[in-house]
Amino acid sequence: MRVLSGIQPSGNLHLGNYFAMMKRMIDYQESNDLFCFIVNYHALTTVSDPNVLRQKTLDAAMDFLALGLDPNKSHFWVQSDLPEVHELTWLLSIVTSMGLLERSHAYKDKTAKGITATHGLFAYPVLMAADILICGANKVPVGKDQKQHVEIARDIAMRFNSSFGETFVMPEADIEDDIATIPGIDGQKMSKSYGNAIEIFADEKSLRQRVMSIKTDSTPVEEPKPIKDNPLFEIYSLFLDDKGKQQLKERFETPGLRYGDVKKELFGVIWEYFTPYREKREQYSKDKAYVYDVLKMGAEKTRKVAQEYVTKARNNVGLNY
């Protein structure tokens, strides 16, 4: 099975990215053909400072390696090292109706949040479809916010196949219900670009500060606390197994619980969980040459797969005059 997913270097990676995508990808690498990449072309839709983009791209690569992505077992690369994806984007654009893109929730959400409505942001799903189809991916582990984009990719693949003959594999989104949308500290979807994220590799002081600012309701201490739409409960649950979650639920339902105490405890849990990875991350940050080598090797490996699909698509539309 080919499993593919990407992440934007549009900021520091956070708990939403980790639990909904990164951790699951790393788990999948053991028994699947993994394609994992850093989508810097996509990040250009929201990042305008070149130095920030460079830095965050390298940071994302080090994050993945530190968390356990094995570049020898998988395909691991940076999107812009695979220029073939643009040729495919154009070929796919030909069969993509305007209506399909106009229905994109992500586009509407981002423009509503003040991000400039550019052609790049509008065409984002076509580039994403090319990313997926160029590797022949079957399964795409993502958060719920990306579900529609994967459906758009399927739709585009279907139209291309029916217009020009069987060319692409039909991809499927792979979403885990429990963690489909992880809330940020304000209760909205945690996002790099919304300023509400808890970063996985934040330093101790900023992590503590972030966790202490998780929005809580004003239920009096002596009353039971709600667990629905309670970001503190939801974020804490990410670190617990079923039994742990049940115990946390009982604690919330028992009068007397103080949100401040739970936050302090949660800070400790997050800090400890990422400590071994943080140490590995330190080592990678001292050996950037290794990181560059890994990414170069990953792009070479992926280009072989990509070129096959692009050639097939070129031929099927008739560019091989």
Q: Which residues bind ligand ATP (CB under 6 A)?
A: 5, 7-8, 10, 16-17, 20-21, 46, 142-143, 145-146, 181-182, 189-193
Q: Smallest gap, in angstroms, from Cβ of residue 149 to ligand ATP?
A: 9
The active-site residue, picked from 23, 56, 108, 110, is 110
73 is catalytic: no
Q: Which is nearer to ligand ATP, 13 or 92 (CB)?
A: 13
Specify the residue for token string 């002081």: 205
Q: Which is nearer to ligand ATP, 81 or 145 (CB)?
A: 145
Q: Tokens in use for 296?
A: 């170069």
Q: Smallest gap, in angstroms, from Cβ of residue 201 to ligand ATP?
A: 14
Instruction: For residue 196, give the nearest of 113, 260, 140, 261 by alpha carbon.
Output: 113
Q: Which is nearer to ligand ATP, 95 or 149 (CB)?
A: 149
The residue with its CB nearest to ligand ATP is 143
- Dist. CA 47–CA 166, nearest whole Å: 37
Stretch (H or E) spanning 117: none
Q: Which is nearer to ligand ATP, 106 or 297 (CB)?
A: 106
Q: Smallest gap, in angstroms, from Cβ of residue 293 to ligand ATP?
A: 24
Instruction: For residue 288, give the nearest of 65, 95, 19, 36 by alpha carbon.
Output: 65
The active-site residue, picked from 23, 189, 225, 263, is 189
- Dist. CA 102–CA 119, nearest whole Å: 12
Q: Which is nearer to ligand ATP, 8 or 74 (CB)?
A: 8
Cβ atoms of 18 and 55 within 8 Å: the answer is: no
312 is catalytic: no
Q: Tokens in use for 160?
A: 């291309």
Q: Tokens in use for 208?
A: 């503590």
The active-site residue, picked from 23, 139, 144, 192, is 192
Cβ atoms of 94 and 101 within 8 Å: the answer is: no
Residue type, 310: V
Q: Smallest gap, in angstroms, from Cβ of residue 150 to ligand ATP?
A: 9
Q: Smallest gap, in angstroms, from Cβ of residue 111 to ligand ATP?
A: 13
Instruction: For residue 208, give the nearest of 260, 157, 250 by alpha carbon.
Output: 260
296 is catalytic: no
Catalytic residues: 110, 189, 192
